[in-house]
Amino acid sequence: MGINWNYPTTMWIGENRVEDLFLACKELNISNPLFVTDKDLINLEIIKNIIISLKKNFKHLSTFSNFTGNPIGENVEEGVKVYNTLGCDGVIALGGGSGLDVGKAIAFMCNQSRALWDFEDIGDHWKRADSSKISKIIAVPTTAGTGSETGRASLIINKDTGAKKIIFHPKMLPSIVILDPLLTIDLSPRLTAATGMDALAHNLEAFCARGYHPMADGIAIEGMKLIKNSLIKAFKNGNDVNARMDLLAAASMGSAAFQKGLGAIHSLSHPVNGKFNVHHGLSNAIFMPYVLTFNKSSIENKIISICDYLELEKNFESFLDWILRLRNNLNIPHKLSEVMDCSNIDLEELSLMAYDDPSTGGNPKEISKQDLKEMYKKSISGELFE
């Protein structure tokens, strides 16, 4: 039996809830949706069946899938042209982070007069948008990682600079989210691990971020508990529907929680994702212990305060050991140099990009460009901060 939540938006939860996609469109008065997913997913049998089912109910159903992971601004522009040319009136965004982010960005940009980069998450740039012209969005995640389905932003790469930019507007929050664990059953162990660690990074950094937001803290703690209980289960047995459901919930919770802020894990990741096409969840997992040990003096007491709930010994070291064991059990490398060639990378450039990243401001410990450079160096050598 499915259940419905209403925080932070309307969420339809349960097995086979994807079958309610037409009802979701009907509820939002969407009669000509653009179905957005990436070029890998569009060819999967399960996605083909969803599209066939939708076509039985719509006079027109258009699709856009000409993009892959780590989408660029040109992908959004192309999708907007398709949306406007076909006279669409809403977006169904289905997929992992790339499918959801592109779909949300298309719905946001379809009737704007300014360029995409004018709405980067800087100050109140979002107020430049004409809010009345943002289309309705239905989000259906097929991975349990980014939590983009409950987020008010899209991460899109500016191809000219290689920088991953956050495009923000409150109305980019989807109107209806469908969390169906059966859509994640076929996710490979490798992607289950990477996306699960992405969700953990969101919850962990939100909890540790500077500022006062007890609601976000509470959500983040429970998100971490769900991941601790279920990520290894789903990694070892992809057909464990209960574990898959826990991870979907934790991913959505992480995105809801990080309205409080993120930190250096994401600051370090975004340049590596944009310039070297490293999977975001994988890079977050790699950077996690280096950032934790760097931030120890600022977060130790807060981490200790949740150890009981996470069934860990009540000290910072036990929490760090859990992270290291979890990565090892998921076959995630300890060093950045194990997933990309680091011999000739420009650490000055990467450190500056990381310092300028919006996530940096939420880090619980004051951070400089030199600190970020040192974290990159540590992640390449494998040496944690003392």
pLDDT in tens, 230-248: 999 999 999 999 999 999 9
Cα gap 283→88, rounded to integer Å: 36
Strands 10-13 and 3-5: antiparallel
Higher pLDDT, 60 or 18: 18
Architecture of domain 188-381: Up-down Bundle (1.20)
Q: Which two tokens stand for residue 362?
A: 């939420």
Amino acid at 269: S
Is residue 46 within 8 A of residue 183, CB to CB? The reply is yes
Question: Average pLDDT, stretch 179-197?
Answer: 97
| Helix, coil or strand: residue 146 | coil
pLDDT (tens digit per residue) in 262-317: 999 999 999 999 999 999 999 999 999 999 999 999 999 999 999 999 999 999 99
CB 199 within 8 A of CB 251: yes
Does 206 have pLDDT greater than 80? yes
Report percent pLDDT > 90 for the chain.
Answer: 96
Rounded-to-integer distance, Cα 217 and Cα 212, Å: 9
| 87 Cβ neighbours under 8 A, 6+ residues apart | 32
Gap between the Cα atoms of 158 and 273, Å rounded: 12
Question: Average pLDDT in the 356-380 region?
Answer: 97
Task: Give the pairing type, strands 90-95 and 153-158.
Answer: unpaired
Q: Which structure tokens are listed for 56?
A: 């039985």
The Cα–Cα gap between 143 and 156 comes to 18
| pLDDT (average), residues 36-47 | 95
Would you kindly state where each structural domain of the chain is located, as residue ranges?
3-183, 188-381
Closest CA to 37 of 107, 99, 79: 99
Q: DSSP letter at 124?
A: T
Model pLDDT, residue 1: 61
* % the chain with pLDDT above 70: 100
Intra-chain end-to-end CA distance of the chain, in Å:
50
64-79, pLDDT tens digit by residue?
A: 999 998 899 999 999 9
Note if the bond before 8 is cis, omega within 30 degrees.
Answer: yes
What per-residue confidence (pLDDT) applies to 60? 83
Predicted model pTM: 0.95
* Number of neighbouring beta carbons within 10 Å of residue 161: 12
The answer to whether residue 379 scores a pLDDT higher than 70 is yes
Helix (H, G, I), strand (E, B) or coil at 165: strand
DSSP assignment of 132-189, as one string? GGPPPEEEEESSSSS-GGG-SEEEEEETTTTEEEEEE-GGGS-SEEEE-GGGGTT--H
Topology of the domain covering 3-183: Rossmann fold (3.40.50)
Is 332 exposed, middle or buried, given 0-12, 13-18 or 19+ CB atoms closer than 10 A? Answer: buried
Closest C-alpha among 153, 132, 250 to residue 202: 250
